[in-house]
Amino acid sequence: MKEFRTKDTWTVFRIMAEFVEGFETLASVWPAVSVFGGARVARDSETYRQAETVARLLAESGFAVITGGGPGAMEAASRGARMGGGRTVGLNIKLPSEQRPNRYVETVVNFDYFFVRKVMFVKYACAFVGLPGGYGTLDEMFECLTLKQTRKMKNFPVILFGTNFWSGLVDWLENRCLEDGMISRKDMKLFTVTDSPEEVARIVSQSWRRRQRESEEEVEGKSPKI
């Protein structure tokens, strides 16, 4: 039993090391958009092509693109960002199946711990895009919505891309969670659903410009009067 407790103590240092590496590697990545999506998306699918387009337009608008670094939708987004001349970052998670970073990622950070990885997704992004995906994508999107709902992060855009894919979830939120009083009507406004890559880029760009203006006004307001 004592041996297990000792291992738990040393685990703290492994966690700290992942935070330090993540902070030091991603400190220069700004502004960026975290794009989530399934590893099982096929390269010849419409979802893959749309992911490419979304990321390309974001890159052309001046944003770095952060993904999970793996295959599928993550690869498509990394590829699209490269096509748009943007920086690509992959936050790769070490799995038993040994997920490998896709070839379009320029900067790779490897993680053992999902929760450390999620901190990096949120800390260094000014918007979040959810492409079709599975449990991991849902986990990441709801993490962002929870942080936004509880005001633990700024009011950054959370965008669900693909109406056909996300409509069932949205209906469930409205007809079950909202009707049962588990969420409020304003919580349904924490995210946007769209099928337009151009709208994704527009929403993110407008939010970023507004944030810049607010920051400039705040700095001016604090300047000493002469």
Note the pLDDT tens digit of each residue in 170-214.
Answer: 999 999 999 999 999 999 999 999 999 999 999 999 999 998 888
Q: What is the pTM of this model?
A: 0.90
Query: In what helix (H) or strand (E) does residue 108 lie, and over which residues does it extend?
Result: strand 107-111
| Contact (CB, 8 A) for 48 and 72 | yes
| Contact (CB, 8 A) for 84 and 21 | no
How close are the terminal C-alpha atoms of the chain, in Å?
A: 67
Q: Is residue 221 pLDDT above 50, yes or no?
A: yes
Q: Average per-residue pLDDT in the chain?
A: 92
Domain residue spans of the chain: 29-216
CA distances from 190 to 11, 151, 155 (A): 35, 11, 9
What CA–CA distance (Å, rounded) separates 226 from 210? 28
226: confidence class by pLDDT, cuts 50, 70, 90: very low
User: What's residue 94's pLDDT?
Assistant: 87
Assigned CATH class of 29-216: alpha beta
Peptide bond into 224 cis (omega under 30): no
What CA–CA distance (Å, rounded) separates 219 from 172? 43
User: What's residue 158's pLDDT?
Assistant: 98
DSSP single-letter state for residue 181: T
What CA–CA distance (Å, rounded) separates 213 from 47? 34
User: What's residue 4's pLDDT?
Assistant: 55
| Contact (CB, 8 A) for 116 and 96 | no
Q: Is residue 121 pLDDT above 50, yes or no?
A: yes
Q: Is residue 219 pLDDT above 80, yes or no?
A: no
| Contact (CB, 8 A) for 84 and 51 | no
CA-wise closest residue to 95 among 136, 47, 35, 125: 136
Separate counts of helices (H) and strands (E) for the chain: 7, 7
* pLDDT tens per residue, range 15-29: 999 999 999 999 999
* pLDDT tens per residue, range 134-150: 999 999 999 999 999 99
User: What's residue 96's pLDDT?
Assistant: 77
* pLDDT tens per residue, range 62-115: 999 999 999 999 999 999 999 999 999 999 998 877 578 899 999 999 999 999
| Contact (CB, 8 A) for 145 and 122 | no
Q: Tokens 């936004």 belong to which residue?
A: 148
